[in-house]
Structure 1
Amino acid sequence: MGAGAEVTLGAKAAAALDRELMSTGAFSIDQLMELAGLSVSQVVYRVHPLNKGRRVLVAVGPGNNGGDGLVAARHLRHYGYQPTIYYPKRSKNELYQRLAKQLEDLDVLFVDDFPKALSSADHVVDAIFGFSFSGEVREPFPAVINAMAETQVPVTSVDAPSSWDIEEGPPKSGVGSNFHPNFLISLTAPKPLVKHFKGRHFIGGRFVTPAIAAKYDFDVPEYEGLDQVVEVEPRGQKL
C-alpha cells in the first residue's frame, strides 16, 4: 500500500463502499456475499489444509457477516471438509434461508450447542459480527465469543474479530477483551482494528474496480492466479 502506510476503511466508509458496489458497481448482494464467502473458504484452505483435520465449526451471526460464513461453509464442504454450523439467530431474509437450504442439501449439520461442537472441532470460523457491529454483545453470543477466546482450536475471523470495535479493536474489558483469533480475512480492505491484530492477516475481495479503490483511497492487492485472497503483513504490505 502506498508509501508503506496502512490504508484502512472505517465503518462509515466500508458501508458506503458496499452501497456503491451495489449501485454504480452493479453488483447484487448475492454476488458480493458469494465472493466474500469464497475468499473466506480459501483462507481456511490455506491456513488449515485438509490434513490438519476436516471438522470446521462455523459460528454464524444474523447479518451479512453470517451470510459470508454460510457461503464459506458450502465451499468448504465441496473442498472435502466436514463443516458444522452454529446459527442460533436465523434470518427470515430469503437470501439467508436459501444459503441455509443449500447447506442442508449437502447434509451439513446445524448444531445448537456451541461448546459441545467446539470440543470436537479442528478449526473455527468466526462469522458472527462484522464491521457494522457496535454496542453490547447480546445472548447467546457472549458465551460463544468467550469460548473462542479460550479455546486452543485455531480461529479465523471474517472481516472483524467478533465483539471488536471497528476503530478501537478489542474491548477494554468484558466479552471479547481477551479474544485474539489466529487468522483474519479483511474483506475489500482492512479496517482500522487491524492495528490491534497480531495473527496472520489476509485480504479478500477480488472484485473492486480501480476507480472505486481510488475513490476510497486504498490499493487493490495483487491477487495471483486463481487466488481470491492475498496474505499481507500487519501494516498492509503483501508478503
Structure 2
Amino acid sequence: MSVPGLLQHFMTDDISEPPSSCINRIIHQFTAVGIYHKFLLATIKTTIFKDIMAIKTLGAKAAAALDQELMSTGAFSLDQLMELAGLAVSQAVYRLQPLDGGRRILVACGPGNNGGDGLVAARHLYQYGYSPTIFYPKRSKNDLYQRLAKQLEDLEVPFVDDFSSALTSTDHVVDAIFGFSFSGEVREPFPAVIQALQDTKLPVTSVDAPSSWDIEEGPPASGLGSSFMPTALISLTAPKPLVKHFKGRHFVGGRFVTPSIAKKFDFEIPEYKGIDQVVEVEVTGQKL
C-alpha cells in the first residue's frame, strides 16, 4: 500500500484533532503494525503536514488589534516594535541577498508604519555592509519617522527622488510602501513605483504585504499590481490572509510576540533559532 493509502487508512474524520496529536497517533499505529523506518516516517510527516497544516492568518482588524495589545498589555512602545520589525526585515534580506551577490539595496518607503520598518531595515543593512538607497517621496512629519530618516542621513545613506532611475543601479529592492492597513486605490506618487516593481526582473522583498495587494483578497483582479509577485514576503507578527495568493519565499518576523498574546489571537509563534528574528515557512505553515 502507498504512503497516502496508509495514511488514509489511519486518519480519522475528526478535523478538530491537532496536527501534532494526529502525527503522533499515526506513527504509534505504524509502529504497532511493524512499519517503522526513518525514511518512511519522514515521508509520513511531510504528507500529513502538506494535507492538514494550514497557516493561521490575521486580517487587518485583528492585526491592528494585536499591535494595540502589544503596546498596552505587552508594554512595547511603537518605536520598539518598529525597531524589531525593521531588524527582522533586514535579516530576511540578508538571507535572500548575500553580500557577495550584490550589496546595493533600494528601499522604497511609504508614509506610514510600513515605511518606518523600511527605514529601520535600511540602517541595519548598512551596518551589515550593504549600500542601501532610500526612496521616500512622502516623508511623514511624525517625530519618529523624522528621527529614523536623520539616522540614515547621518550615515550618509542617499535618498533619491527618481525610483525608476535608482532601479537601474541596484541589486535588490525592499518594498516597504504599504502594509496591512492599505485599502482602496494606489495614490500618487506610487502608481509608477508599483508598475516598476511589477515589471522589474530584480529580486523584490515585500514587507508584510506586496504593495497594492488587498490584505484579505490578495492582488487586484486587474490593472495595477495584478501581476505583481515579489520574490519574497516577510510577514510581520503573523501572516495575513493574502499569503494564500503568494508564491515566493515566505518569512515570518515576530519574535517579540509573547505566548499569552499569541494564544489570545489564536496563532502559533514559529520556532526561531539562536539570535534569528525571522524564520522561513511555507504558505501552508510548515517550517523550511
TM-score (norm 2): 0.82
Shift of 1:127: 0.1
Partner in structure 1 of residue 64 of structure 2: 15
* 1:234 CA displacement: 1.4
**Residue in structure 2 matched with residue 145 of structure 1 by the alignment:** 194
Q: SS of the residue aligned with 2:84?
A: helix
Q: Provide the C-alpha distance between the structure 1 equivalents of 2:222 and 2:137, rounded to a whole number of angstroms.
A: 25
Aligned-pair identity (%): 80
Matched, 1:97 2:119: no
The one-character-per-residue Cα deviations of 1:44-103 (angstroms, maximum 9, x if unpaired) are: 000101011010000000000000000000000000000000000000000000000000
**SS of residue in 1 equivalent to 2:270:** coil
Are 1:209 and 2:209 counterparts? no
SS in 1 for 2:234: strand
| Alpha-carbon offset, residue 198 of structure 1 | 0.1
Among 204, 212, 229, the alignment partner of 2:278 is 229
- Counterpart Cα distance in 2 of 1:234 and 1:118: 29
Residue identity opposite 2:69 in structure 1 = E
Amino acid in the other structure paired with 1:138: R
Answering whether residue 156 of structure 2 is matched by residue 156 of structure 1, we say no
Which protein has greater RCO, CA pairs closer than 8 Å, 6+ apart?
Answer: 1
Tell me by how many angstroms 1:237 deviates: 1.4
Contiguous gaps of at least 5 residues in structure 1: none
**Structure 2 residue aligned with 1:174:** 223
Which residue is equivalent to 2:79?
Answer: 30
Q: Distance in 2 between matches of 1:155 and 1:183?
A: 6
User: 1:84 is paired with a residue of what secondary structure?
Assistant: strand
Match of 1:44 in 2: 93
| Structure 2 stretches lacking a partner, 5+ long | 1-17, 20-52
For residues 12-40 of structure 1, the C-alpha deviation after alignment (integer angstroms, 9 at most, x for no partner) is 00000000100111000000000000000
Residues 58-207 of structure 1: matches in 2 within 5 Å? 58-207=107-256
Cα-to-partner distance string for 1:123-150 (whole Å, 9 max, x where unaligned): 0000000000000100110100110111
Deviations 1:147-205 (A, max 9, x none): 01110110000000000000100001111111000000000100000000000000001
Larger radius of gyration: 2
C-alpha displacement at 1:236, in angstroms? 1.3
- In 2, Cα distance between equivalents of 1:116 and 1:23: 43
What is the Cα deviation at residue 5 of structure 1? 2.0
* Whole-angstrom CA distance in 2 between matches of 1:6 and 1:41: 23
Runs of 4+ in 1 over 4 A off after TM superposition: none
Give the distance between the partners of 2:283 and 2:67, measured in 1 at CA. Answer: 23
Distance 1:112 1:20 in 2: 36
In 2, Cα distance between equivalents of 1:144 and 1:117 = 11
Cα distance per residue 1:180-239 (max 9 Å; x no partner):
000000001000000000000000011101110001110000000010000001111111
> Which amino acid counterpart does residue 222 of structure 2 have in structure 1?
S
- Give the helix-richer structure, 1 or 2: 2
- Matched residues in 2 for 1:230 and 1:166: separation? 21
